[in-house]
Copies of this chain bind each other. A is one copy, B any other.
Amino acid sequence: MVWFRTLIRSSLINQPTKPRNLGLLEPPRLLSLTHFSTEPSSSPTSEVKENVDKQSGLPPTRAEEKPRVVVLGSGWAGCRFMKGIDTSIYDVVCVSPRNHMVFTPLLASTCVGTLEFRSVAEPIGRIQPAISREAGSYFFLANCTSVDVDKHVVTCKTVVDGVKTLEPWSFDVAYDKLVIALGAEASTFGIQGVMENAIFLREVYHAQEIRRKLLLNLMLSDVPGISFEEKNRLLHCVVVGGGPTGVEFSGELSDFIKSDVHHRYAHVKDHIRVTLIEATEILSSFDDRLRVYATKQLIKSGVRLVRGIVKDVKTQKLILSDGTEVPYGLLVWSTGVGPSKFVTSLDLPKSPGGRIGIDEWLRVPSAQDMYAIGDCSGFLESTGRPVLPALAQVAERQGKYLAEQLNKVGKAGGGRANCTEDVDVGSPFVYRHLGSMATIGRYKALVDLRQSKEAKGLSMAGFASWFIWRSAYLTRVVSWRNRFYVAINWATTFVFGRDISRI
C-alpha cells in the first residue's frame, strides 16, 4: 500500500492544479461546468486503476519497512496495547468494527443522561495517533473473518453499517505479530427472545438505544388512550443480572427517576418502577457486608429486587422459571459475558470456558507470533493458572504488559514474523487484583480493595466511597479531553439536571 500511496501522491503532485482546486471560478460569478468528474482528469492511468482494484490488502512487510503488528479489536486490551506499542519499531494496524474505545465503567451513566455519550468514547486515533498519520499504520473499520496461522494473514470484511450504496468487501492483512483482543459477547444462556427484545449494555449504541426507549416510554405513557396496564408496562424497567453493570444501571435509573422524572414527567412519576432480577445474589464478587449495604440502598431507592431465573423473553413480558410473568417496557440484559462465535470458531487450543488459550507470556503457544489478551483469552490449563475474570483492569494490564513485551522483542530484532526464537521474553505476566468498585446511586458506592473474595483488606461503602469512585474514574478516563468532558457533564447534571431531549 505504501507504494500505491506514494504513486498517488506523486501523480497528484505532477498535476498542474490540485484536484481540490479544479473548477474554482472567479467570484462572484459561477459558471456551469461542462465537464464534471470527481477524479483528477490527468491521473491515474487506467493501468494503475486496475492495479488498485485488484490490490486488496496489505502484503507481508519487506525488509526496508517496519514490522507490522495487527491488533484485532478496540476495547480495553487492544487500546491499552496500541497506546503502549513503540511506533518507531512497529507499524500498527487495527481492525475493529468501531473506531473508538468505550470507557465501559461509565456507560451506565450515559443511559439516563448523567454523562454524555461522547464523554465515554475515545477515538482510537487519539489513543495511538500513528494510526491516522504514519504511512504504514492504519485503522480498518472491519471484522476479522479468518486467521491463517501459517501464512501469517488475517482476512477481514468491511463494516458498511446499513449504507445501501456499498457492498461489504473482503481484504487480507499480513502480520508480523498478531494481537487478538476481540473481547467477549453478552451471554444469553440460550434463552429465547433475549437477542430480539433485550438491550445489552456494552456499546455506546446500546446506551443510546436505552435512553431513547426510556424517554419514548415516558412520553407515550402520558398520551390519552393508553390503558392503565399498558402505562404500567411501558414504565416498568427490568434489569436482568445483578453484577456491577446491572446494579449500577439500576442505581442510575433510580437516581434519574428520583431527581428528573419526578420533576420533568410529573404526570407519570407514580407509574415508573425498576426491577432487578438475579438468579443468585447481587454483586456476588463483593464483600458480604458491602452486599448487604448495597441491597439496603437499592431497596431504599425504590428498586425492586427479585430472585428468579428467566426462562423465556417475549416482546412485552418475560417469564420466570416458576411461571411468573413480568411485563416490561424496557429490558436490559447484563448477565455476564462468554466467548464470541468467532473466537469459538478459531481452530486454536482453548482455556477452560472456551476462551483462546494462552501461556504465561500471553502467547498462543500453537501459533507463531500470535498473542491474545483481554476477555477473549484465558490461561491454558497446562499453565496451572486460573482463567482471569473478564474485567477491564485485567484487559488493560495485559495490553500494557504485551506492548512492553513486544517493544522489547522488537528492539532485540525479533519484530519480524518467525523471528522470536532467540529473543529473551522476560518475566511472565502476573495479575494483581486492585479491587472492585460499584456505584449504587444516590451518591453512594462500594469499594472493595481485597485481593480476592477470601482475602482480608479494606472494604467500604457510602458517600466517601462514591467520592473515591468518581475521582478514580476521573483520573482513569483515557484522555484529558474526556476527563474534562466527564467533569463538565457531572457538574452540569448537578446544576441543571439530566437532559431529557430525545434526539
How far is the CB of A362 from the nearest CB of chain B, in Å? 27
| Docked-complex contact B481 and A228, CB < 8 angstroms | no
- How long is the Cα–Cα vector from A247 to B38 in the complex, in angstroms? 20
CB within 8 Å for A500 and B125 given contacts A139-B219, A263-B133: yes
Across the interface, A281 reaches (CB within 8 A) one of B28, B100, B222, B502, namely B28
* Count of A interface residues, CB-CB < 8 Å: 128
| Docked-complex contact A171 and B27, CB < 8 angstroms | no
Closest 7 CB pairs of A and B: A100-B501, A27-B295, A56-B225, A30-B307, A36-B324, A38-B232, A141-B219
Residues in A7-38 with C-beta less than 8 Å from chain B: 8-9, 12, 18-25, 27-28, 30-38
The reply on A385 being an interface residue by CB < 8 A is no
How far is the CB of A440 from the nearest CB of chain B, in Å? 12
| Docked-complex contact B324 and A35, CB < 8 angstroms | yes
Contacts of A142 in B (CB 8 A): 223
| Docked-complex contact B496 and A265, CB < 8 angstroms | no
Contacts of A34 in B (CB 8 A): 322, 324
Contacts of A165 in B (CB 8 A): 315-316
| Docked-complex contact A163 and B49, CB < 8 angstroms | no
Residues in A277-321 with C-beta less than 8 Å from chain B: 278, 281-282, 288, 291-292, 295-296, 299, 302, 304-308, 315-316, 320
The reply on A44 being an interface residue by CB < 8 A is yes
11 residue pairs bridging A and B, Cβ less than 8 Å apart: A20-B302, A36-B324, A39-B228, A55-B224, A123-B264, A132-B266, A158-B220, A166-B220, A173-B224, A481-B495, A484-B492
The reply on A456 being an interface residue by CB < 8 A is no
Which residue of chain B has its CB nearest to the CB of A51? Answer: B228
The reply on A325 being an interface residue by CB < 8 A is yes
Of A114-122, A353-361, A372-380, A408-416, the one with at least 4 CB within 8 A of chain B: A114-122
Which residue of chain B has its CB nearest to the CB of A271? Answer: B19
* Contact pattern, A 325-358, Cβ under 8 Å of B = 1, otherwise 0: 1110000000000000000000000000000000
The reply on A442 being an interface residue by CB < 8 A is no
How far is the CB of A282 from the nearest CB of chain B, in Å? 8
The reply on A201 being an interface residue by CB < 8 A is no
| Docked-complex contact B266 and A327, CB < 8 angstroms | no
